[in-house]
Structure 1
């Protein structure tokens, strides 16, 4: 039987979290006024990162963002993504074989080239290079990498930077391509109709029920995929329609952005600079691979190139789902592909990793 025993964060942790969220919200508003894409996510991320970088004393030792609070808003994002599913999308599911194959090609190619980059340019050992280069599976990569003898500090920072750089660069890049701000800063939304406060109770039920469902089914990224699955079934069957106010997504952007930004606490400037240089090259390479595969799939399937690009970028599944929601680019389609990327990456690092690390051990 499953039991849930949430641990209440200490008072200093709650105070530091409240401060970070307040700063993040203020920076999100400033980013929206500056017409940046995904303003509340990017503004909160940058604002909280600057806060922990210049005023680390405001945070307790070994501070970590309270995960139950983050998961609550992750569930909101999942339910809102699932609510975008309609009968047309359900009928298209059997036709996703070509694009999911493209995800498989991306995972294999991006991981292989990233491994070579970190080995040759970074001088990392095999274990560190292999698990740093995986295009997904953050927790699994860190756990397996630590067991294999990888440098955990470098490994953790690489994966955080991978997600943060993609989240920061992709919306900005797409705004430059289209020549206008995208997302909530441009006034775009993703509800099917007029915003209604009556959607909030339905949203809460989907979040709570979906989270339990995700845990029971042992789904990947359960706090996101559980509510998404439950809302997708209801929406695809025409039983529910979610039209929450835009501030719901804006608050979710702030919370997710702050939870990313505060991860820089305790990172030395020397380590950050060394890993950042490699991460920029690695992420640029992964984005180029994703763009090339997206173009090929666009020609083969007719799917919009921007939707395919977002589906093939190595960001976090939660963050990419939120970006897809904010940019109104078929979030259900995007999230299905990112969940597949995570599952495929975890399978790949668990099966291929032992051979790569085994070769390293044999040469010691």
Structure 2
């Protein structure tokens, strides 16, 4: 067995990211929004489906999250923060309504896939693959189908929502331009990164969920709200972040996972599409209620994928702070309540005999 950082291992990692970059170039040529992330995700999924190893360092996901989160945090200027205060009630309401829609989809999934209620709820309420798998083990259900459903929904969101919104919007001629033409300076970019790392370490120290995104976002947003001299990163840094995140996401989706969830797959696909459709309906309703643009509300109510939805808002140059705030509020409501939600579901299911003994 090779040492973890042998020359052979390093060459393998370089080849993986070279392949991801090549797929990203193809997606860029096809004018996809988020081309580097989508290309890397497709490449990594293809490698895993071919049952080839994908030994990428786990820290790459954390680096990608910090870079994207701090880029998003730049939009939290004093003016943007003031504008978001009036949307606090819709943000909280959307988070709880998303949980309710997750239960609707769980009932649908139970019926068509013949799974128990805990598996169905963990697969349908958007709480992330890692968090849902942990709760699955705690409640004695198989984590494989849960991981598959949560990962599938995120992948569908990344592949479907940004291209569809950009295409329907029609105002974006070059999806990459908004990210590539940002003004930047070396001191401003370094300061932005430092605020993000500090926020991530602080969030991790106090045990916040998803610290490398939420903490980095908070650190950069606070610095932007205080009008510190931050600037964006040079575009190649955002390309690197998208590739890191795309490879990580695609690597989760492998053939072994498909084998374990084989009979569950059609139901999970339909359930994911149903939840996306219901959340689109919620976004349309919020467009009427809040007066925000439909693009901003659809991105705000997408069931997961905060990183990708925020980047899409950045491409559209519309409502980036609002989209991010909607997702962050939902994260802070759903993740702390996830254990309680599943625990109550298990007790109700046991009382009514909805779980196999």
Tell whether the structures are fold-level matches, with TM greater than 0.5: yes
SS of equivalent to 1:188: helix
Counterpart mapping for 1:253-272 below 5 A? 253-267=242-256, 270-271=259-260
Of 29, 36, 42 in structure 2, the residue corresponding to residue 33 of structure 1 is 29
In structure 2, what is the equivalent of residue 145 of structure 1?
Answer: 136
- 1:303 and 1:190 mapped to 2: Cα distance? 26
- 2:173 and 2:275 mapped to 1: Cα distance? 22
Q: Give the superposition deviation at 1:179.
A: 4.0
Q: Give the superposition deviation at 1:105.
A: 4.3
In structure 2, what is the equivalent of residue 22 of structure 1?
Answer: 18
- 2:317 and 2:207 mapped to 1: Cα distance? 29
Q: Give the superposition deviation at 1:23.
A: 0.9
Q: Give the superposition deviation at 1:273.
A: 5.6
Q: Is residue 226 of structure 1 aligned with residue 222 of structure 2?
A: no
In structure 2, what is the equivalent of residue 160 of structure 1?
Answer: 151
Q: Is residue 78 of structure 1 aligned with residue 69 of structure 2?
A: yes
SS of equivalent to 1:136: coil
In structure 2, what is the equivalent of residue 172 of structure 1?
Answer: 163
Q: Is residue 100 of structure 1 aligned with residue 91 of structure 2?
A: yes
Deviations 1:31-88 (A, max 9, x none): 111111211111111122112222x23x1xxx66422222112111111111111111
Q: Which moved more, 1:40-49 or 1:168-177?
A: 168-177
Root mean square deviation of aligned Cα: 2.5
Of 289, 293, 297 in structure 2, the residue corresponding to residue 304 of structure 1 is 293
Of 130, 134, 156 in structure 1, the residue corresponding to residue 125 of structure 2 is 134
Residue 171 of structure 1 contacts residue 182 of structure 1 at CA under 8 Å; is this kept in 2? no
TM-score (normalised: structure 1): 0.87
SS of equivalent to 1:161: helix
SS of equivalent to 2:233: coil
- 1:53 and 1:98 mapped to 2: Cα distance? 43
Moved over 6 A (4+): none
Residue 291 of structure 1 contacts residue 309 of structure 1 at CA under 8 Å; is this kept in 2? yes
Of 158, 175, 179 in structure 2, the residue corresponding to residue 189 of structure 1 is 179
- 2:286 and 2:44 mapped to 1: Cα distance? 37
- 2:59 and 2:65 mapped to 1: Cα distance? 10
Q: Which runs of 5+ in 2 are unaligned?
A: none
SS of equivalent to 2:178: coil
- 1:267 and 1:183 mapped to 2: Cα distance? 38
